[in-house]
Amino acid sequence: MVLEHLFPEDWLERKLRYAFILAVVYSTVSIVVARLLFAANSGIVSVIFASLLLMPYLEKLLEKEERKEIKERSFSIRRFYMDNQEALKVYGVLFLGVYLTYMLYTFLLPQFGVEVGSVFREQLALELNLRGGSFFSGSTFLSIFLNNWWVLLACFLVALIAGDGALFFIAWNASSWGTIFGFRALEAAVNGGAYGAWANLLIIVAITLPHVLLEGGAYVLAAVAGGVLSDDIVSKRAAMDKFVYYFIGAGVGFIVLHSLYKVFFAALPLVAQLLDIATILFMLHFLAYVFDDPHHKEVFQYNYYLFLLAILLFIVGAIVETLVLSHSTLLATVYAAAGSF
């Protein structure tokens, strides 16, 4: 858009603080415009606007990452980081910018008489109202992982199909976390409980930051992997046509198997869900063999591993989140004071 063209092409990579500023400015503009034009659905529309404003630059960034990866002949964690560090850093900073912007507006605007329940209605509707317990809960972990696995997969597949389209999912999750945390902190203070508005906010941010970074990082990894693959597939027309047919075929095959799993494991829904995940990962792995060119096959496998790394990172994040919800007395006090909204 406008702001990034005032600087050299690589300004976001060289000065990550500009990426943060861009996220804050575009999020602010999007919130205002969405509220003025689409008041009934301003929460989700603001995220759509912010994603659209940020997309043009990320298209160039993903093209640069794909050109690096196609030169690689083998996989290693070090090469992962070296090839993708610019995209990962920029996506991560944009995530934090959106997260903090929505958190602060949700926290501050009610103090000026703005009804944020209507401004960010869609984000607040995701509130799970989880409370702290006294032990690690397997059911809580499975709920977090299985519910958000599909968002993680959507990040990868949307980026694969539409390049940087996964930015919406990254921005959506950042805005949702920020909105819910900001509102909880303020509600706890308004209800006369916990430790005061700013203290509540600092407690929530500090205690939840590890799992927010881990889970947000997983979405970023999935988006980068899918986006780089998208550019690579588009760059080779013959491979793109073949890939589309195989991709559609894999989608149809998954729908059939998913239906069978639901029938045969009706009494064991968890088994059916895990089989769904295993089937998707198996199909994605073999899509690499669509490519005849060994270089393009290598790029696909390379980014498939990156997606697997995203899943592992998300699992770690879900474990950390479960532990936090189960053992943090401070967080439980703030959440209990906030009540249900």
Is 40 inside any structural domain?
A: no
Q: Rounded CA gap, 185 and 182, in Å?
A: 5
Is 179 inside any structural domain?
A: yes
Is 17 inside any structural domain?
A: no
Query: What's the Cα-to-Cα distance from 129 to each of 72, 80, 92, 136, 339, rounded to whole Å?
Result: 46, 37, 27, 17, 8
- Domains contained in the chain, number: 1
Is 74 inside any structural domain?
A: yes
The residue segments making up the domain with residue 76 are: 56-236+291-338
Closest by Cα among 154, 150, 182 to 169 = 154
The string of DSSP letters for 238-294 reads: HHHHHHHHHHHHHHHHHHHHHHHHHHHTTT-HHHHHHHHHHHHHHHHHHGGGG--SH
The DSSP 8-state label assigned to residue 339 in this structure reads: -
Quick count: other Cβ atoms within 10 Å of Cβ 82? 12
For residue 189, how far is the Cα from the chain centroid? 29
Q: Rounded CA gap, 54 and 270, in Å?
A: 38
The packing angle between helices 42-69 and 77-108, to 10°, is 160
Is 249 inside any structural domain?
A: no
Query: Which pLDDT value is given to residue 105?
Result: 93
- pTM greater than the 0.95 cutoff: no
Which tens digit of pLDDT belongs to each residue from 197-229?
888 899 999 999 998 999 999 998 888 888 777
Mean pLDDT for each 10-residue chunk of the chain (341 residues)? Answer: 52 67 90 88 89 76 55 57 72 90 92 83 72 54 82 86 77 91 87 79 91 90 81 65 81 92 88 91 83 72 85 90 83 77 45
Is 258 inside any structural domain?
A: no
Q: Rounded CA gap, 14 and 31, in Å?
A: 28
Is 28 inside any structural domain?
A: no
Which tens digit of pLDDT belongs to each residue from 242-284?
777 888 888 899 999 999 999 999 888 889 999 999 999 998 8
Q: Rounded CA gap, 179 and 168, in Å?
A: 16
The DSSP 8-state label assigned to residue 108 in this structure reads: H
Query: What's the Cα-to-Cα distance from 296 to each of 73, 125, 238, 246, 300, rounded to whole Å?
Result: 10, 42, 12, 16, 6
Is 143 inside any structural domain?
A: yes
